[in-house]
Amino acid sequence: MNVETVRLMMNMFDRDNDGTISFNEFIGLWNYIEKWKACFQTYDLDGSGTIDTMELQKALRGFGYNLSEQIVSLIVTKYDVCGRGDISFDNFVQSCVTVQTLTDAFRRIDVAGTGVVTMTYEQVRCKLRLKNDV
């Protein structure tokens, strides 16, 4: 896995925030990775070992995220390190967790549940800073 995905998962499972993963935290992380692996294999429809834009869109819809084809293409472009139009397992996990994190942050701001928020420039900068710390 790439360094960013490992950092992301370490932050998620370091429950006591001591900068390390205890044995029990590791077990939780291992189970989490195994679930993602099964999910990845479910949506890797052509068995290529990578997820393309169409497969990612199906996966995200399966998770309840109805994103446009244009947004999904942008996600693939961001996480496609080889420039082939698809993403590897670790980048799939990282992209899905990022979508979840951003959606959760959006929902906290969208208190009316309308799907539309108005933010100041400073709020956007703060949210981006927090996202980069996740």
Q: Rounded to two decimals, what is the model's pTM? A: 0.73
Kindly indicate the confidence band of residue 113, based on its pLDDT and cuts at 50, 70 and 90: confident
Question: Could you tell me what percent of the chain has a pLDDT over 90?
Answer: 34
pLDDT in the model for residue 44: 94
- Spans of all domains in the chain: 3-133
The CATH number, out of the four listed (3.40.470.10, 3.40.50.11900, 3.60.21.10, 1.10.238.10), of the domain defined by the range 3-133: 1.10.238.10
Task: Using DSSP, state whether 115 is helix, strand or coil.
Answer: coil
pLDDT digits (tens, 9 = 90+) for 2-58: 787 777 778 878 888 888 888 988 898 889 889 889 999 999 989 999 999 999 999
Residue 86: which H helix or E strand, with range?
A: strand 86-87
